[in-house]
Amino acid sequence: MFQRHHDLTVATLSGFLLGSLSIVWPWKEVLSLRTVHAGRPDEHLEPFLRRNVLPGDYTTITELDAQLGVVDKDPHLLGAIVLAVVGAALLLGLERLGADRA
């Protein structure tokens, strides 16, 4: 099936990947909070609305972050870049292996 519908399959998978990017984006700013389990002993605050920000903007601690007890926000940018490069290298390596066998 993949050989018959290669372009459609790749387009669909690319769409899923791009569509999920806003959900899995690691650098988010909290816009509002909500109370969970109000009136119970395990009552606590959790983020309700968030927006994606660039890693450079992520380090700013907002008032809502302080309410959640956040005291330090490290974007781990170097680690993210290293993992992206490793992922790209793995992808290229697998592509070469597949081309050699074809």
Q: What is the pLDDT of residues 72-88, one digit of tens each?
A: 888 899 999 999 999 99
d(CA 25, CA 19): 11
* Amino acid present at 94: L
> What is the pLDDT of the chain when averaged over all its residues?
89
User: Which position has the higher pLDDT, 86 or 30?
Assistant: 86
Q: What is the pLDDT of residue 11?
A: 94
Q: What's the mean pLDDT in 11-33?
A: 93
Kindly tell me the burial class for residue 39, based on how many C-beta atoms sit within 10 Å of its own C-beta (0-12, 13-18, 19 or more). exposed
Share of the chain above pLDDT 70, in %: 98
On whether the pTM is more than 0.75, the answer is no
Q: What is the pLDDT of residue 71?
A: 80
Share of the chain above pLDDT 90, in %: 49
Q: Cite the beta strand spans of the chain per DSSP E.
A: 28-36, 44-52
Q: What is the pLDDT of residue 1?
A: 65
Q: What is the pLDDT of residue 102?
A: 65
